[in-house]
Every structure is written in C-alpha cells, then in structure tokens.
C-alpha cells in the first residue's frame, strides 16, 4: 500500500507548484483569511450534484444529509441544489429553517429525540422518521397535545446484512430504526393516531465504494419495502432508500461507480408493482455530495528531526480535522490525501509525519507519508475536508483558535 499515492483531486489547480482553489492560489486565500482555513467550493458541489443526478434515474429525488457539512451557507446552497434536506437534531433544524429551507422539504431522523425537538419539528411541519415504537407513542402524544397531526415515516432496520459499508447503521442490533419484523405491528396502530403516514426510511450504512454491494442493498431494501407497504395504513408516498455512497479517502481506493448504481436502480424501480409506481424514491447523501468540494489548509510552523524521523509541525490539527488523524470511525489509521500545497511539483523525497499544534500524540495529520520537501512557511492541504471536517472535530480541545470557513 505504501507505494500507492493519492491522486491529484479533480477541480483543483496547480499554478507553478502552488495549489489553486477556484482559480486563486492558497497563498492568496491564506493572505486574505489567515491560517488555518477551510475552503468550500460551491462550484464543485454543484458539479457533484449534477453528476449524481445524471447517474440516478430522473424520477429519483436527491436529498442532502446536512450532518456531513452543516455550515449554514452550505445548507442553504445544497437545499437549493437538491430536492430535500435530512436533519438529525434540533440544532440542525434551527440551521435549516434559518437558512430558509422550506419545512416541507425537511425530514428528521435520529435516535433520542427530546420532547423539545419533537414539538419543534411538529410545529414546523417537518417529517419525523420514527426510530422506535416508544418514539411513535411520544410523537402521537405530542401531536395530540398540540391539536395537530405529525408527518411521519417509519425508519426500518432491515433484517438482512448490509455489506460493504464502513459504518454500519442497520442489518443488525441497532439504536436506529425499528426492526423489520416489528414494523407491521406498528403500522397497524398508525391509522388510529394523529399521524400523516408518508412512507418508509431505510439508512443502513455509510461510506461504501462497492457498487455491487450498494446495488444488492438497494434491491433488498426495495423488496422489503414492497412487502411492508402491504401492512401500511395507506399507500406510502415515499421510500427513502438511504445512500451510503462513499468517497475514496485512501491510497488505492477506487471511486464508486455511480453510473452502475444508477442504472441498476432504474431497473429495480421499473420492477416495482403497479400500486407503488407513484411512490417517490429518495436517495439521501452526505459526504458523496460535499467531501471533495472542501480543502483544509494550514501552515508549517516548525520542522524537526527526532531519532531519524522528520516532523512538520503545523498550526492546524485534529481540533479542526479530526478525521485526518484517523480517529473518526477508522479501524486502521491510514493517511488522508495530504499535499504540500506550496510545493506540488516537488518529488516526494522522504517520509515525514505532519502534526498539528496540539500537545497530544493523537494529533497527526499524516504519518510517515512520502511528501516533497517543505519548510516553515509552506502550506499543507488536507483534501476531502468538505464533509465531517470542522463540525466533526473537537474544536475546543486545547483552546487553539477555530479554523475559518470560507464558502466560495
């Protein structure tokens, strides 16, 4: 694996050895906004949405899961580019509503919703994805006390195993969703409570690069939903079949063949029974839509040798970009795509470890990675920082300044 290198990412430029983002060098971006810096390029997001829509059947609706990047400006942008927004907390609801997203386009999944979250969601008129039988009872009681009906979908935890996903959220004992075998009993009670039943939600895994395994999951998911629909109080308006489309983070990772996934989905949809022809099929994606549009830039402050190893010490770190340190859902630590942004044309001459400025051995952005020569004043770029970067990092740990986030 060590002989494999990360590819130069699409959509970025190289101007005399210096990385450009949206046509400007990172030196200019840092001069204007300071270091460390997240740059998110909405043109790249739009391209990714366009590519995704082109691959998926035209009737499939595309949702953005804002957990991947909840920056208010990105939420507003992505709400405009996609057909709906998936949220997972009251805080995300507040951001979405403040960004002007129409409540009709928002659905709220996630375990452990508080009474305040349930109330705010029902009052706002967004859809609640029910994660347990008890949650269904709580939603019913809340809707009754508000004298209104709650829009709900039932999140199903499938009985079949989900393959290929590096983060599993279904197909086994889970805090998410209601076990497939228990769903018919719940559906039988839905007609009697103040609910508007809108359909089903299945989200069983994340970060899969394997088209065949995604196709298999989609097929089994649709089969299951056809079966469960027979027990529904009315024909389901929506099947949200999840997503889990991954991005290639590590050397040797191959991008997902989304065209293959899309054409298989078209065939699967064509085989739905007549009674479900008008059911809206939703695919919800987070990282796949935004990860590649973001880059994290930090500045080399120090360079040292310790017992034969070279360290580049930056003003960034895991407090901004935890995932690059390997501590966000990775089993084996592998290097994220990292480059010396001010020496792109240099040959990777020797292995270096790039650290942040936190006083903890956990704070490594790259470990023993072949990189070109770099010195204090050079800039380091961490790619794929558009998803699970700033918002998924412990920014108060050690009380260094927050990174600036710029939306281009």
Ligand X SMILES: *Cc1c(COP(=O)(O)O)cnc(C)c1O
CB under 8 Å, gap of 24 or more: what pairs does 50-56 form? 51/258, 52/258, 52/285, 52/288, 52/289, 55/258, 55/259, 55/261, 55/262, 55/263, 56/258, 56/261, 56/262, 56/265, 56/283
User: What is the distance between the alpha carbons of residues 287 and 388, in angstroms, rounded to a whole number?
Assistant: 8
Within 10 Å of residue 351's Cβ, how many Cβ atoms?
14
Name which of 89 and 342 has its Cβ closer to ligand X.
89
| Closer residue to ligand X, CB minimum distance, 67 or 71 | 67
Q: Considering the rule CB under 6 A, would residue 127 count as an interface residue with ligand X?
A: no
Asked whether position 288 contacts ligand X by CB under 6 A, the answer is yes
C-beta pairs of 54-59 under 8 Å, 24+ apart in sequence: 55/258, 55/259, 55/261, 55/262, 55/263, 56/258, 56/261, 56/262, 56/265, 56/283, 57/262, 57/265, 57/266, 57/269, 57/281, 59/269, 59/280, 59/281
Length of the chain: 408
Comparing CA positions, the residue from 385, 287, 394 lying closest to residue 339 is: 385
Q: Could you say which of 41, 86, 117, 378 contacts ligand X (CB under 6 A)?
A: 86
Q: Which of 207, 221, 299, 342 binds ligand X (CB under 6 A)?
A: 207
Q: Near ligand X by CB under 6 A, which window of 91-99, 256-264, 281-289, 393-401?
A: 281-289
Give residues 375-394 in contact with ligand X (rule: CB under 6 A): 387
Question: Peptide bond preceding 329: is omega within 30 degrees of 0, i.e. cis?
Answer: no
Q: Are 244 and 284 in contact (CB under 8 A)?
A: no
**Residue 284 makes contact with ligand X by CB under 6 A:** yes
Q: How far is the CB of 18 from ligand X (least distance, A)?
A: 30
Contact between 48 and ligand X per CB under 6 A: no
Pairing of strands 404-407, 37-40: parallel
How far apart are CB 340 and ligand X at their closest, in Å? 28
Part in contact with ligand X (CB under 6 A); list of ranges 35-43, 203-211, 304-312, 370-378:
203-211
Whether 200 and 235 have beta carbons less than 8 Å apart is answered as: no
Q: If binding is defined by CB under 6 A, does position 199 make contact with ligand X?
A: no
Q: Which residue is nearest to ligand X (CB)?
A: 286
Choice from 49, 56, 99, 109 touching ligand X (CB under 6 A): 109
Q: In Å, what is the CA distance from 210 to each residue of 101, 162, 205, 213, 335?
A: 33, 12, 12, 5, 20
Between 165 and 380, name the residue whose CB sits nearer to ligand X.
Answer: 165
Name which of 18 and 204 has its Cβ closer to ligand X. Answer: 204
Residue 226 DSSP code? H
Report if residue 89 touches ligand X, rule: CB under 6 A. no
Q: Choose, by CB under 6 A, the member of 65, 96, 136, 324 that binds ligand X.
A: 65
Q: Is 68 in the site for ligand X (CB under 6 A)?
A: yes
**Is 336 an interacting residue with respect to ligand X (CB under 6 A)?**
no
**In this chain, which stretch among 53-61, 114-122, 133-141, 284-292 interacts with ligand X, using CB under 6 A?**
284-292
CB of 348 to ligand X, least distance (A): 30
x/- track of binding to ligand X for residues 213-252 (CB under 6 A): ------------------------------x---------
SS (H, E, C) 330-363: CCCCCCCCEEECCCCCCCCCEEEEEECCCCCCCC
What is the nearest approach in angstroms of ligand X to the Cβ of residue 287?
A: 4
Token pair for residue 322? 């935890």
The reply to whether 71 sits near ligand X by the rule CB under 6 A is: no
Choose one: 61-69, 120-128, 262-270, 367-375; the region binding ligand X (CB under 6 A): 61-69
Q: Phi/psi of residue 209, each to 5°?
A: -105, 5
- Least distance in Å: CB of 191 to ligand X? 26
Helix (H, G, I), strand (E, B) or coil at 90: helix
Can residue 286 be called a binding residue for ligand X (CB under 6 A)?
A: yes
Q: List the one residue out of 98, 73, 101 whose CA is nearest residue 86.
A: 101
82 binds ligand X (CB under 6 A): no
Q: In sequence order, which residues have a C-beta less than 8 Å from that of residue 361 and are 6 or more positions away? A: none
Q: Which residues bind ligand X (CB under 6 A)?
A: 65, 67-68, 86, 88, 109, 203, 206-207, 243, 284-288, 387
């Amino acid at each position: 694996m060590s002989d494999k290198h990360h590819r130069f990412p699409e959509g970025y430029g190289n101007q005399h050895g210096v990385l450009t983002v949206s046509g400007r060098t990172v030196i200019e971006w840092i001069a204007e906004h300071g270091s460390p810096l997240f740059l998110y390029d909405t043109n790249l997001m739009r391209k990714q949405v366009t590519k995704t829509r082109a691959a998926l059947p035209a009737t499939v609706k595309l949702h953005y899961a804002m957990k991947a990047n909840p920056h208010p400006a990105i939420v507003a942008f992505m709400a405009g580019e996609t057909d709906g927004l998936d949220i997972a907390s009251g805080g995300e609801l507040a951001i979405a509503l403040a960004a002007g997203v129409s409540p009709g386009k928002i659905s709220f999944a996630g375990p452990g919703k508080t009474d305040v979250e349930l109330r705010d969601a029902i009052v706002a008129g967004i859809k609640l994805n029910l994660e347990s039988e008890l949650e269904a009872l709580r939603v019913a009681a809340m809707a009754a006390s508000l004298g209104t009906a709650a829009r709900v979908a039932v999140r199903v935890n499938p009985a079949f195993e989900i393959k290929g996903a590096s983060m599993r959220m279904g197909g086994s004992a889970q805090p998410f969703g209601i076990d497939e075998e228990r769903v018919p009993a719940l559906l039988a009670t839905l007609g009697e409570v103040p609910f508007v039943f809108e359909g089903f939600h299945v989200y069983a895994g994340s970060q899969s690069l394997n088209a065949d395994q995604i196709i298999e999951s989609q097929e089994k998911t649709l089969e299951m939903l056809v079966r469960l629909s027979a027990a529904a109080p009315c024909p389901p308006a929506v099947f949200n079949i999840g997503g889990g489309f991954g991005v290639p983070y590590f050397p040797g990772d191959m991008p997902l063949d989304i065209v293959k996934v899309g054409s298989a989905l078209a065939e699967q949809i064509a085989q739905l029974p007549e009674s479900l022809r008008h059911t809206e099929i939703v695919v919800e994606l987070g990282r796949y839509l935004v990860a590649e549009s973001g880059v994290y830039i930090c500045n080399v402050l120090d360079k040292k040798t310790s017992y034969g190893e070279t360290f580049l010490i930056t003003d960034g770190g895991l407090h901004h970009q935890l995932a690059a340190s390997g501590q966000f859902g990775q089993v084996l630590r592998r290097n994220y795509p990292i480059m010396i942004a001010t020496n792109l044309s240099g040959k990777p001459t020797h292995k270096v470890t790039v650290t942040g400025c936190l006083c903890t051995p956990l704070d490594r952005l790259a470990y023993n990675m072949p990189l070109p020569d770099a010195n204090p004043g050079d800039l380091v770029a961490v790619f794929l920082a558009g998803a699970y970067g700033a918002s998924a990092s412990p920014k108060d740990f050690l009380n260094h300044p927050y990174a600036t986030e710029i939306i281009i």
